[in-house]
Amino acid sequence: MTDAAPQARAEVRVGVRGDQLSIAIEGALVLETVGAVYESLAAPLRRAPRGVALDLSGVTRLDASGVAIPVHLFRYTKAAGGTFALSGVSGERQLLIDLALRGQDPGPRKAPPGAVRVVGAWAGDIWTILTDLLRFSGEVSIIALQIVRRPRLLRWKDTVAAVARHGADAVPVVGLLGLLVGAIIAFQTYDPMAKYGAKLQVADVVAVSIVRELGPLITAIILAGRSGSAFAAEIGTMKVTQELDALRTFGLDPVRFLVVPRMLATLLVTPLLSVYASILGVLGGFLVLGPKGITFMQYALEVRAALTIGGYMQGLGKAAVFALLVSGIGCLAGLRTGQGPSAVGRAATRAVVAGIVAIVVADSVLGSFFYTLGI
């Protein structure tokens, strides 16, 4: 980039006396030549000299990249506890090199983390996440209790807005997925069941698996992807832009201000969405069975017989638990967002992954719980 002659050249002369290295550079010490100079210095420096004397009096041209050579030798000798002497520079060259040498300190080289440390950090991470989650649940519960006593503390407007954004807007996609999953179950179970002459009982399979299990699960997974990540990103952005700090300096608690409205909204809409997904799932089953000669009346009666009130409540209960998990984890990921522009993206990813893992774990725990209760 400089206006140097096309073939800038630098000569490096190295003299060794005992453990002292003397280096003289002649010609153009510029971006174009600095790579070659580095190379010719590599071998002499491997002898681990105690002292380096650099003579730049033969340098015809020095640019800001050429300064890298004295900086390199300075850092090298400093790291090795040796001495560095520079000669043959004056005026502006001296100034440039002096500026560049300020504060140069090689410091300890950062070793890349080994596999053991990565796994260790990972385990530690999970531990901090779990304890953090517990502390956070405590915080949220306390504020929820305060709000029960003084409902004025709730940010109603934010809650209603969150209901619209995370409930109403999710209706199409939740409905579509419910319908398709219902149809898929009917489709996959029809042939084996028909072999035993149990065509009509496909309706039982669809009804039970959708209402108890898949309706809430589909809803919660969509919620983790749509709302959990959105909560993390919204709150995370506020953290990065110091809006959370601004809230705190007004004496406003981010949990009451931001977290509770989002969790409450999610808690309100998830069971409704889950019921809606279940209804469409059951309809989806009929889409497959109808053409196989089963009338709507037969199908509806079979579904009604298959479902118990307990099964219904089980689905609703699961949906409520999933709602708290997904929204809580999303908000927590947002509050714990790190620094820098990529932190928000990482927080959103963490919200989705942790949310889905939590949903599935909770589902298996709740499933066995309800089973032992005999519901």
Partner 1 sequence: MATTLPSSRTVDAPRGVAIALRGVAIGYNGEAIIEEIDLDIHQGEIFFIGGGSGSGKTTLLASLITLRQPLRGSIVLDGIEVVGADEDALSAVRRRFGMMYQLGALFGGMTLLENVRIPLEEFTTLSNDAMDGVAHAKLGLVGLAAHAHKLPSEISGGMQKRAAIARALALDPSIIFLDEPSAGLDPVTSADLDALIVALNHMLGTTFVVISHELASIYSIGHRLAMLDGARKRLVALGSPAELREHSPDPWVRRFLTRTASASQGAA
Residues that bind partner 1 (CB under 8 A): 1-3, 30-32, 34-35, 38-39, 42, 61-65, 67-69, 71-72, 75, 92-93, 95-96, 99-105, 107, 110, 339-342
Answer yes or no: are the C-beta atoms of 303 and 185 closer than 8 Å: no
Q: Which is nearer to partner 1, 107 or 197 (CB)?
A: 107
Count the alpha carbons within 13 Å of 314 in the hemisphere toward its beta carbon: 27
Instruction: Kindly provide the b/e burial profile for residues 265-304, where b requires at least 16 CB atoms within 10 angstroms of the residue's own CB.
Output: bbbbbbbbbbbbbbbbbbbbbbebbeeeebeeeebeebbe
Name the token pair of 375: 């519901």
Q: Which is nearer to partner 1, 93 or 226 (CB)?
A: 93
Residue the block writes with tokens 């309100």: 268
Q: Which is nearer to partner 1, 105 or 191 (CB)?
A: 105
Write down the least CB distance from residue 36 to partner 1, Å. 9
Whole-angstrom distance, CA of residue 162 vs CA of residue 269: 10
Whole-angstrom distance, CA of residue 100 vs CA of residue 64: 9
Whole-angstrom distance, CA of residue 132 vs CA of residue 359: 18
Write down the least CB distance from residue 105 to partner 1, Å. 6
DSSP-assigned beta bridge partners for residue 123: none
Q: Which is nearer to partner 1, 62 or 259 (CB)?
A: 62
Write down the least CB distance from residue 331 to partner 1, Å. 23
Question: Would you say how long the chain is, in residues?
Answer: 375
Sign of torsion over alpha carbons 122, 123, 125, 130:
positive
Q: Which is nearer to partner 1, 41 or 319 (CB)?
A: 41
Count the alpha carbons within 13 Å of 369 in the hemisphere toward its beta carbon: 9
Instruction: Give me the sheet containing 10-17, strands edge to edge.
Output: 10-17, 20-29, 51-62, 83-87
Answer yes or no: are the C-beta atoms of 289 and 202 closer than 8 Å: yes
Q: Which is nearer to partner 1, 67 or 255 (CB)?
A: 67
Q: Which is nearer to partner 1, 106 or 192 (CB)?
A: 106
CA 7 from centre of chain: 49
Q: Which is nearer to partner 1, 99 or 361 (CB)?
A: 99
Write down the least CB distance from residue 66 to partner 1, Å. 8
Q: Which is nearer to partner 1, 55 or 63 (CB)?
A: 63
Write down the least CB distance from residue 281 to partner 1, Å. 43
Write down the least CB distance from residue 241 to partner 1, Å. 12
Write down the least CB distance from residue 282 to partner 1, Å. 48
Q: Which segments of the chain does DSSP mark as H helices, in order?
A: 31-46, 68-79, 91-101, 115-149, 156-166, 171-195, 202-208, 215-223, 229-240, 243-249, 254, 260-289, 296-306, 309-335, 343-373
Write down the least CB distance from residue 111 to partner 1, Å. 13
Segment holding 14, helix H or strand E: strand 10-17
Rounded to 5 degrees, φ, ψ at 84 are: -130, 130
Write down the least CB distance from residue 61 to partner 1, Å. 8
